[in-house]
Amino acid sequence: MRPSRKMPSCLRRYRAAVALPLACACLAWTAGCGSTSTKQDPPRPVDLRPPATDAAAQSGPVAARQFSNRSRAGTYQISWQAIGQPIPLNEPFSLQVVISPAADPEARVSGAQIFVQASMPEHNHGMLREPRAHEIAPGIYRVEGMLLHMTGHWQIFVDVVKDGIAETADFELTLE
């Protein structure tokens, strides 16, 4: 699942492990997960390439892992990845988030407000930062100020606020 890295495995200090999207809509993406939802074709991969106008987003390697899930009410398909690196342990990083209508993954949802929070349920605390998002191209948002300071199981919540209605998509990851 993870891309190859240049450093030997024993020297890697951290890594993002398996993420298990919660929503059944996302489970329908993967074969062999027990889903019987075969009525629709799986959506094509979302293009997360940064726009040409955003020089910073173009620098560095493509992030290790892309997360994608449908919002709880099913309105949006939300995809994100860490910019420029695998998700680091206890170091600041940024996200690039792409919002699409669930019914049309090729389209983009612009003009939304994005809020990202993170929580460690096993620890009973959350992230010690409040990230901020801004739209860098139609439907593509950069979220700055992420910092996951501990190893373990994290829940990531991406809130999309559009036309006065908020929807949340849930993600899970494990940092080791």
Partner 1 sequence: MTLAALCACQAKETGSVSGPDSGPATREQGVQFSALELDRILSMSPLPPPPDDPTNSVHANAHAARLGQQLFFDTRLSKSRSTACSSCHDPELAWADGKALSEGVITLNRHAPSLLNVAHNRWLFWDGRADSLWAQALTPLEHPLEHASSRLQIAHTIHDDPDLRGAYEEIFGPMPDLGDRERFPAIGRPVSETEMAWIEDLARSKQDAGLAPEHRHRAGAHFIHPHQRAWDAMQEADQERVTRIFVNLGKSIAAFERQLVASASEFDSFVEGLRTGDPDKLAALDISAQRGLQLFVGRARCHICHQGPTLSDREFHDIGIPPSGAVRMTDLGRREGLKQVKEDPFNGMGQWSDDPEGLGRERIAFLPNHAHGSGAEFKTPSLRNVAVTAPYMHQGQMPTLSSVLEHYSNVSDTPERVLTPLHLSEQEHDDLIHFLESLTDTSVDSRLTVPPSPSRHQ
Binds partner 1 (CB under 8 A): choice among 1, 8, 44, 52: 8
- Cα 27 from Cα 148, distance rounded (Å): 25
User: Angle at CA 70, nearest 5°, toward 120 and 97?
Assistant: 70
Q: Which is closer to partner 1, CB of 16 or CB of 109? A: 16
2 binds partner 1 (CB under 8 A): no
Q: Which is closer to partner 1, CB of 143 or CB of 160? A: 143
Q: Which is closer to partner 1, CB of 42 or CB of 152? A: 152
- Cα 71 from Cα 157, distance rounded (Å): 10
Task: Decide if 98 contacts 136 (C-beta within 8 A).
Answer: no
Burial bucket for residue 54 (CB in 10 Å: 0-12, 13-18, 19+): middle
Contacts with partner 1, 110-149, as mask; x by CB under 8 A: ----------xxxxxxx-xxxxx-----------xx-x-x
Task: Decide if 109 contacts 101 (C-beta within 8 A).
Answer: yes
Shortest reach from residue 11's CB to partner 1, in Å: 6
Contacts with partner 1, 56-95, as mask; x by CB under 8 A: ---------------------------------xx-x---
Shortest reach from residue 136's CB to partner 1, in Å: 17
| Helix segments in the chain, DSSP class H | 24-27, 55-58
Q: How far from 9 is each of 2, 89, 163, CA to CA, in Å?
A: 12, 16, 47
Residue of 147, 132, 139, 111 lying closest to 49 (CA atoms): 139
Near partner 1 by CB under 8 A, which window of 8-16, 28-36, 40-48, 69-77? 8-16
Shortest reach from residue 122's CB to partner 1, in Å: 5
Residues that bind partner 1 (CB under 8 A): 8-14, 89-90, 92, 120-126, 128-132, 144-145, 147, 149-152, 176
